[in-house]
Structure 1
Amino acid sequence: MTNDLSLRTVTVMRYILPLREGGSLPALAEADDDFKYVLKFRGAGHGVKMLISELLGGMIALKLGLQIPELVFANLDVDFGRMEADEEIQDLLKFSEGLNLGLHFLSGAIAYDSSIRVDALLASKIVWLDAFTTNIDRTFKNTNLLMWHKELWIIDNGASFYFHHSWQNFDASAKTPFKYVKDHVLLSQASELIQADQFAKEHLNDEFFRSLVNLIPDDWLQWNDADENPEEIREIYFQFLKTRLANSEIFLNEAQNARG
């Protein structure tokens, strides 16, 4: 798989409906390519940092050969939300003007049932991914996994890379064991974590990480709570990814101990 990364950009044409309550308020929408997308909005919850988590986590999952709906940059025009009757949604759309993130809508997909057995290496790769990206939100309560065409698909990586909310001690954050892995919905089935770690180290590298952080739009890196400019912020993400991969035994041991 090439390390040249790119995403299509679509323009949102129609807001269809909100998908669930909660801080991120995702929605089903139709774009100018006539496809439907699950939209994640920059004006919701943790804003652009959540979009960055979705982008980085999703593209790493793809690099590891996992199934994830196509990610697209989704542009919202300035006038898009003015006719929306719901004031909360209208405000969300107003504050989300510009570039957002969409995931291709998997029509007919159903939520993963934790009683379903999956391939041990697949489960291990997903657990490894979430420990690597520090994703706290793939639990029995909220699996963020779908079954579609008899395959397991990953959705919703927005609760990962939580170090960027405090934005300090970057090197130390990259070397954390990730204690939340004990709550992972697939941990009990992840009996091939060492093989998953070896696979990841064969497929992830500095070149990929550099291309990945360069995917983050400048528009998502204008932070009021950071002194760094966009290029400096990208460099911090790059160093986090590089350091965390080099020290994967830290979170790998935590996951193995949690299984024990």
Structure 2
Amino acid sequence: MTLPTITATRYVLPLREGGSLPGVVEGNDLGTYVIKFHGAGQGPKALVAEIIVGELFRRLGLRVPELKLIQLDPAIGKSEPDFEIQELLIRSAGLNLAVDFLPGSFGYDGSAGNPGDQAMARILWLDAFVANVDRSWRNTNLLVWHKNLWLIDHGAALYFHHSWMPAEKFATLPYDASDHVFSIATPDVPGVDAELAAAITPELLTEVIGLVPNEWLEDGDRERYLDYLTARLDKRSAWLPGGAR
């Protein structure tokens, strides 16, 4: 199983949020996407995290915009008048990540209503599992689209892979839920623990890790991701928000 691959046909505009400078592009399938560049600040590892985390969350019932791989011709970059963007486009020639663009969506700020105790607890549990440090009220990385909540931007998760800290250290690394947008759901997290832990099987992890393109990985990386995430699942009493039940 692989992610669909498309080709960028036109660069539309930059999204000047954060340091990675994603942009909106059109694809040869007539779709519109947010493109995440392998040549941006944290390189392809951020895209690896986007795929593993996004596809894991999707399989566990959360809404994540569809992900595709997208080929970028450097010729698109050469016609861009903004030097910073032109440089990024040329540097990112080749395979990048495309995230389905949700027209008319807006950032979640609480005004759209409470998504429910269990939904908040599931999101908090999963963010703690993948060590996602980027879901605070300052930057929720949540969109409201057609009255539903959608999760985006998971490139800051799985940060162990930037230095490959020892797997046993990551397995028991505490998660600070106090800054999480759904920190109020902390008491409800133990109630969803057994269900989510049982659903994250080695087969499921192998499937989502297998969606990452070879060119974004080094030899042995797939096995490392599986080992690290399996170890963290086994040691969840050390990081579970709200404490183990």
TM-score tier after normalising by the smaller chain length: over 0.9
Taking structure 1 as the reference length, the TM-score comes to 0.89
* d(CA) in 1 for partners of 2:197, 2:116: 20
SS of alignment partner, residue 256 of structure 1: coil
Q: Which residue of 1 aligns with 2:31?
A: 35
Contact 2:188 2:242 in 1 (8 A): no
Q: CA deviation at 1:190?
A: 4.7
Q: Which residue of 2 aligns with 1:131?
A: 128
Contact 2:39 2:88 in 1 (8 A): yes
Q: CA deviation at 1:105?
A: 0.5
Q: Which residue of 2 aligns with 1:233?
A: 221
Q: Which residue of 2 aligns with 1:87?
A: 83
* 170-179 vs 61-70, greater mean Cα deviation: 170-179
* d(CA) in 2 for partners of 1:155, 1:80: 26
Taking structure 2 as the reference length, the TM-score comes to 0.94
Q: CA deviation at 1:241?
A: 1.1
Residue 213 (structure 2) pairs with residue 217 (structure 1): yes
Percent of matched pairs sharing the same residue: 43
Q: Which residue of 1 aligns with 2:143?
A: 146
Q: Which runs of 4+ in 1 moved over 2 A?
A: 189-192
Superposed, 1:119-198 pairs within 5 Å as: 119-179=116-176, 181-198=177-194
Q: Which residue of 2 aligns with 1:15?
A: 11
1:72-93 superposed Cα distances (whole Å, 9 cap, x missing partner): 1111123221111111001101
Contact 1:120 1:191 in 2 (8 A): no
1:47-99 superposed Cα distances (whole Å, 9 cap, x missing partner): 10100111111011101100010011111123221111111001101111111
Contact 1:118 1:189 in 2 (8 A): no
Q: CA deviation at 1:29?
A: 0.8
Aligned residues: 242
The AA in structure 2 aligned to 1:118 is: P
Q: Of the candidates 225, 235, 241, which is equivalent to residue 247 of structure 1?
A: 235
Root mean square deviation, CA, Å = 1.4
The AA in structure 2 aligned to 1:94 is: I
Q: Which consecutive unaligned segments of at least 5 residues does structure 1 have?
A: 222-228
Q: Which residue of 2 aligns with 1:256?
A: 242
Q: CA deviation at 1:192?
A: 2.5
